[in-house]
């Protein structure tokens, strides 16, 4: 799907496979200047359409100034907006992130449950990474999303992986339907992990390479990890880096 994801440094999504043997290096917390305003491009809901920020720059969300000294991240709650709902809870997000090495979260200052405003509905997103913050957006209360174009093959595959069902009512639009359990799975094992991948990516600079890395990260540490069981206590997770071309 192409609905949600972001970090103003540039990133989108597509499903990619990986080979864990490609990396033998233990993950280390990235060293990023506290002033760097990293952000990836949003995954827009309208299938195949991508929004790019043009001058003058319009802030995609509340900006949270990175802290020089961190002692964990804080949660910021925003009202989801009329007709929308956050289907994952604060505790579920905290528990999911707690499964990762603490150094992976060292650069995270804020986890914000964002709102869906009238303006944001023009190109709604699932998630966003901006600076040292991750934002999760609400979804329609009825758990049915409407698109003006049919899904691309990769988008259809991604939705199916998490239990989303595409439909064609025949009225010139397409629907993507979820249940409460499948949307939780999608957010906790795809959206959240994708944005964490952006936060950890301190090597890539182009939007394409950053997005490719975040996609791999979400598959490896979101989908596959959740299906195959958590990493053994004896095993240290690793991060494979994609270098920008």
- Return the domain boundaries, the chain: 20-228
Can you give the pTM of this predicted structure? 0.71
Q: What is the pLDDT of residues 64-77, one digit of tens each?
A: 666 666 678 889 99
Q: What is the pLDDT of residues 19-45, one digit of tens each?
A: 333 333 334 333 333 333 344 544 444
Q: Rounded to an integer, what distance in angstroms lies between the CA atom of residue 109 and that of residue 69?
A: 10
Residues of the chain short of pLDDT 70, as ranges, are 1-70, 229-245
Q: Element (H or E) spanning 134, and its range? A: strand 133-136
| Cβ 166 vs Cβ 200: under 8 Å | no
How many DSSP H helices and E strands does the chain contain? 6, 9
pLDDT for res 178: 97
| Cβ 7 vs Cβ 129: under 8 Å | yes
| Cβ 13 vs Cβ 215: under 8 Å | yes
* DSSP structure string for 198-209: HHH--S--SHHH
């Amino acid at each position: 799907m192409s609905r949600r994801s972001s970090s103003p440094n540039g990133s989108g999504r597509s499903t990619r496979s990986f080979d864990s043997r490609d990396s033998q290096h233990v993950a280390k917390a990235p060293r990023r200047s506290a002033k760097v305003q990293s952000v990836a491009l949003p995954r827009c809901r309208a299938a195949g359409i991508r929004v790019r920020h043009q001058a003058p720059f319009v802030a995609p969300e509340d900006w949270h100034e990175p802290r020089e000294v961190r002692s964990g991240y804080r949660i910021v709650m925003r009202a989801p907006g009329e007709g929308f709902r956050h289907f994952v809870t604060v505790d579920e997000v905290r528990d999911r992130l707690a499964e990762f090495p603490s150094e992976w979260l060292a650069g995270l200052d804020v986890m914000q449950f964002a709102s869906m405003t009238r303006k944001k509905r023009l190109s709604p997103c699932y998630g966003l990474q901006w600076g040292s913050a991750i934002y999760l957006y609400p979804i329609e209360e009825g758990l049915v999303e409407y698109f003006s174009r049919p899904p691309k093959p990769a988008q259809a595959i991604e939705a199916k992986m998490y239990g989303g069902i595409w439909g064609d009512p025949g009225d010139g639009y397409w629907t993507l339907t979820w249940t409460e359990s499948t949307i939780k799975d999608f957010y906790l094992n795809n959206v959240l992990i994708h944005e964490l991948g952006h936060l950890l990516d301190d090597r890539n600079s182009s939007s394409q390479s950053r997005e490719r890395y975040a996609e791999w990260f979400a598959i490896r540490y979101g989908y596959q990890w959740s299906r195959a069981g958590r990493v053994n206590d004896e095993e240290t997770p690793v991060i494979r880096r994609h270098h920008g071309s």
